[in-house]
Structure 1
Amino acid sequence: MTESQSRPSPGGVPLSTVLAFSATSVPIAALAMAITVHMPAYFAASIGVPLTAVAAAFFTCRMIDIPVEPALGLAMDRTRSRFGRYRLWTIVGAPLLMAGLYMLLQARSGVGTGYLIVWLMVMYLGLSVLVLSHAAWGARLATGYAERARVFGIMGGVGVLGAIGVLLVPIVMQARGYADHEGVRAMIWAIIGLTPLAVLLVVWRTPETIAPETGGHRFRVRDYAELITHGSMARILLADLCLSLGPGWMAALFLFFCRDRMGFTTAEANMLLGVYILAGLVGAPVTGAVAARIGKHRAAMLSSAIYSAALVTLLFLPRGNVWASMPTQFVAGFVAAGFTALIRAMVADVADDIRLRQGKERAGVLYSLITSTSKLALASAVIITYPLLARLGYDPKLGRANTPEAIQGLTLAFTAGPIVFLALGAFCFVGYKLTAERANEIRRELEARDAALYAEAEPIEALTGAGSSPLTAPAARPS
C-alpha cells in the first residue's frame, strides 16, 4: 500500500460508502433495543428470575465492562496491521457477541445470577468491540464538521432499520399464536444471524485510513487525564450520561406503562415502540442536517426540549387508543434518534483536537469513554427503576390488577425521570466552545501537519522501497 493510498480522500464521503459502512449499525441498534426493552423483562417474567436479581446482573455486567472499555479503545488506537486498524477489531467483535447471545438463549427456569453475568459479559464485550471500532472508524471516514453530522446521522438512520426489524419479530410471532417469550427468543436469533452479514459488508466495502502520528506510541497517565478533563469532552460525557439515561429510563418502563396505565396489549405496545423507532429512520439524518446548520450542541438542546414536551403529552391521551398515541411516539422517536448521532459526531471533533495536541490517534479511547457513560446510563435505568417500582408497590406479574396507587407511581416514574435528565443534558451544552468554526480551524491545522509528515516520509519510502510509510500502517481498499 502506497502512502497516497493511506491518505483520507478529499471531499465528502459518497452516499454508497456511508450506507455500506452503516451496516454494522443494524445489529448494534437491534441488540440495544433488545437489551433495554425486552431482555430484562424476558428474564424476569418468562425465566422467573426475580426483578432485583435481573437488575443486579445487568448492572454488574455494565460496571465490569466500563473499565474494560478504555483498554479496548487504547488497544484499537495502537493497532497497525495490513487489515487496517478498526477494520480488524470489527471482525473480532462479531463472534464474541454471537457466542454471548447464544448462551443466554440456553438459560432456563431457575438459572443463577452467575450464569447471566458470565454470558452477559461475553455479549457486552463483543458489543463494545463493535461499537468502538465502528464509531472510531467513522471519525476517520468523515473529517469535516458538517460531514460528520451527515455521516453519523445516516448511521443512526440505518441503525433504525435494525431496531424496527427486531421489534417486528415478536409482533409477527404473537400474531401467529406464539407466546411472548418465544418472540423474544426469535428476536435474539435474528440478531445472531444479522451480525456476521453486516460485518462482512462493512469490512468488504469501506476503506480505512490511518492518520500519521508524531513522537512515540507510549500512552501516559497524563494523556488519559487530558482526555477526560478536556473542556468539550467533559461536557459531552456528562451530557451523554443524561441524554442516554432519559430515554433509557423510559424504555425500561415502556412495556409496563403501555400495558398497565395506557391499557394496551403487548402487541400494541410493540407497535407504538415500532413507531418510536421507525421515526428515527428520518429523524437521525434530519437532525444531522439541522446540526450542520445550527451547530451540533444546539441541535442536541433543541431535541431535548422537543422530547420532553412529547413525553408530557402522553398523560393527556385517551387510554386504549393506539392511534392517538402514535403521533406523540413519532415525535419523541424522531428527536431521540439524533442524540447518539450528535454525540458521536461531536466526539470526532474532540478526537481531532486531541490529535492536534498529543500528536496521536485517540479516537478509540474517546469513544470508549462515551460508550461507558451510555452503558452506565442504561444500566442505571434498570437498577434504579425496577427497585423503585417495587418500592412503589407495583408488581409486573399483576399487570392491570395493580392498585391505583401503584399505577400512579408507575406513571410518575415513567414521566418525571426522563424529563429531569434530559433537562440536565441540555444544560451541559450551555457555553459549549467546540463550534463549527473552531472545529474547521483544527482540521486545517491537522491537514497542514499531516501533509508535512507525508512529505517527510516520501524520501524514506524511495530509499527503502517500502510499500507503506513508517508513519502510516497499510489500510485495505474497498473492492
Structure 2
Amino acid sequence: MTATGTALAEPVERVPTRWTVAISVANLGVFTAWFGPLQVLLAKQAESLAPHGKEAALGLVAGAGAAFSMIGNPLFGALSDRTTSRFGRRLPWTVAGALGGAAGLALLAVAPNVAVMLVAWCVVQLMLNAMFAAITAAVPDQAPHRQRGMVGGWLGVAQTLGVVVGSGLAAAAGGLVAGYLACIVFLLLATAPYVLLRRDSVLAARDRPPWDWRAFWISPRRHPDFGWAWLTRFLINLGNAIAVVYLLFFLQDRVHYPDPDGGVFVLTAIYAGTLLLTVLAGGILSDRLGRRRIFVLVSGLVVAAAAVLLALVPTWTGAVTAAAVLGLGFGVYTSVDFALLTEVLPAAADRGKDLGVINIANALPQVLAPAIAAPIVTNLGGYPVLYLVCAAFGVAGSVLVYRIRSVR
C-alpha cells in the first residue's frame, strides 16, 4: 500500500507518469461502459423488448438512469470521503464500482423485459458513478496544483476515447449479449492496472468527518468561489447540451442534409478529433503558466462562436466548421476547468462529495436541455434563435469565471 502522507493534506509531490496513465485508462473503462449502452445497446434493446413503444421505453430507462447518476455521484463521493479502509478511501469504491457496474451490465445482457432493463441500467449508473466519483476525487488527493491541468487533460482524452471505444465495441460485437460482455471485459481490464498500483492515502478514524445530509448543500454565500465555479460549468454545459439535443433535426430540417444520421456521426468524429488536439495541450500550458481563468474564458468564447456559426451559417460546411471549432474550445475547457474546480473545493475532508456536487452541473443540463430547446425550435424563432441562446449561455459562463477570486 502506498500512503502518500496525511489523507487531508494538500499533495506536494509530483504524481508519477504510471499513475496518470493508469487512472486515465480506468476512466476510459468507465466511459466505455457508459457509452457502449448509451450510444448503441440500450436503443437496440428497447426496440427488441418493446418494438411498438421503443421511444418511450428508451426515454424511461435513460431518464431513470440519469436521475440515479445525479444522486450517485455526490453520494458515493461523500462515502469515499469517510472511508477508513487500510486500502485507502478511494480504491475500495473504485473496485466496488467496477464490479457493481459489471454486474449491472451482465443483468442488462439477459433482461427479459423493460422493467428489468430499467433496474439494471439504474444499477449500472449508480455503480459506475461510485467508481467515477472515486477516480475524480483521487486527483486532488494525489496530484499537486501544478499537475492538475495535465492530469485533467488525460482524463479528458480518456472520456472522449471512451465514447468512441464504447460505441465501437457495442457495434462490432455482433449482438446485445456480446456487446454487453465486451463492455464488461473492457471495464474490468481497464480498471485493474490502476487498482494494482495501490496508490491511495489512508484516512485515520479520528479525521473522519461526521455524516451530515445538510453538507450536500454548499452555501454559495459561505463558499462563493465554489458557487461561481459550479455556475460557470453549469452554463457552459447547458449551452453545449442545447446545441446537441436537436442536432439531427437541425441537419434534417434546416441544413437539408441528405443523410442526417451519418451527418451526426461525421460531426461527432470531427468534434472528437479537434478536442483531442487541445485537451492535453491546454491543461499542460495552464499548469506551466499557473493560470486557469483566462483559459476558461477563451475556451468558453470559442464554444460560443461555434454556436453562432450554426445560427448564422446553416449549411453543411458551416456545421463541419462549427464542429471543429467546438472541439478546439471544449478540449481546452475540459482539462483546465477541471483543474480550476479542484482548487476551489471548500474542504479536503469533503473532496469526493464536493466534486460530486460539481458533477451535477454536468448532468442537470442534459435533463433541462430538451425542455428549453423544444419551445424555441417550435414557437420562438427556430434554430437560429436556439443556437444564439446556446452562445449566450457560453458567453455568460465564460465571463463569470472572473468572479472566482482564489484562482488566477
In structure 2, relative to structure 1, the CA distance for the partners of 1:215 and 1:40 (3 Å cut) is closer
Q: Percent identity?
A: 20
Quote the offset at 1:135 in angstroms. Answer: 0.4
Match of 2:134 in 1: 133
Describe the shift of the 1:264–1:280 C-alpha distance in structure 2 as closer, same or farther (beyond 3 A). farther
CA distance in 2, matches of 1:48, 1:306: 42
| Mapped contact 1:97–1:124 kept (Cα < 8 A) | yes
Q: In the alignment, does 2:333 pair up with 1:339? A: yes
How far 1:264 sits from its partner (Å)? 5.0
Equivalence for 1:474: none
Pick closer, same or farther for the CA change 1:269–1:160 going to 2, 3 Å.
same
Q: Aligned pair in 2 of structure 1 residues 40, 148: CA closer, same or farther (>3 Å)?
A: same
Q: Kindly tell me: are residues 428 and 189 of structure 1, through their superposed partners in 2, closer, same or farther at Cα, counting changes over 3 Å?
A: farther
- In structure 2, the CA distance between the partners of 1:337 and 1:430, relative to structure 1 (3 Å rule), is same
Does the 8 Å contact 1:167/1:187 carry over to 2? no
Give the 5 Å matches for 1:177-196.
190-196=182-188
The match for 2:398 among 412, 422, 426 is: 426
> Unmatched 5+ residue regions in structure 2?
none
Code of the aligned partner of 2:164: I
Q: Is the 8 A contact 1:104 1:119 kept in 2?
A: yes
Q: Is the 8 A contact 2:77 2:352 kept in 1?
A: yes
For 2:111 and 2:313, locate their aligned partners in 1 and report how far apart those are by CA, in whole Å. 39
> Any conservation in 2 of the 1:273–1:329 contact (CA below 8 Å)?
yes
1:257 corresponds to 2:250: yes
2:15 — aligned with what?
A: 13
Counterpart-to-counterpart distance in 2, 1:282 and 1:413 = 30
The structure whose Rg is larger is 1
Report the Cα distance in structure 2 between the residues aligned to 1:49 and 1:416, rounded to whole angstroms.
34
Amino acid of the residue matched to residue 207 of structure 1?
R
Aligned to 1:217: 209
Q: Report the Cα offset of residue 64 of structure 1.
A: 4.7
Mapping for residues 312-461 of structure 1, pairs under 5 Å? 312-315=308-311, 319=315, 325-351=319-345, 353-355=346-348, 361-382=349-370, 384-385=372-373, 388=375, 392=378, 409=382, 411-412=383-384, 415-436=387-408
C-alpha contact 2:82 2:209 (8 A) present in aligned 1: yes
**Which residue number corresponds to residue 95 of structure 1?**
99
User: Does the residue aligned with 1:350 lie in a helix, a strand or coil?
Assistant: coil
C-alpha contact 1:160 1:277 (8 A) present in aligned 2: yes
In 2, Cα distance between equivalents of 1:298 and 1:421: 17
Distance 1:430 1:334, change over 3 A: same
- Specify every segment of 5 or more residues in structure 1 that has no aligned partner in the other structure, as ranges: 356-360, 394-404, 437-479
Shift of the alpha carbon at 1:307? 0.8
Distance (Å, rounded) in 2 between the aligned partners of 1:295 and 1:48: 54
Give the whole-Å Cα distance in 1 for the aligned partners of 2:69 and 2:3.
Answer: 37
Q: Separation in 2 of the partners of 1:167 and 1:43? A: 15
Do the aligned residues in 2 keep the contact of 1:308 with 1:418 (CA within 8 Å)? yes
Shift of 1:88: 0.9
Which residue of 1 is the match for residue 295 of structure 2?
299
Native 8 Å contact 2:6 2:202 kept in 1: yes
Count of residues paired in the alignment: 400
TM-score using structure 1 length: 0.71
Contact preservation (8 Å) 1:59, 1:383: no
- Cα RMSD, aligned residues only: 3.8
User: How big is the shift at 1:364?
Assistant: 1.0
Q: TM-score, normalised by structure 2?
A: 0.81
Instruction: Tell me how far apart the structure 2 counterparts of residues 279 and 341 of structure 1 sit (CA, whole Å).
Output: 14
Shift of 1:432: 0.9
**1:222-256 deviation per Cα after TM superposition (whole angstroms, max 9, x unaligned):** 65555664111111222222222222223332333
Once residues 317 and 44 of structure 1 are traced to their aligned partners in structure 2, the CA distance between those partners, rounded to angstroms, is: 36
Correspondent of 2:63 among 59, 66, 70: 59
Which is further off, 9-18 or 230-239?
Answer: 9-18
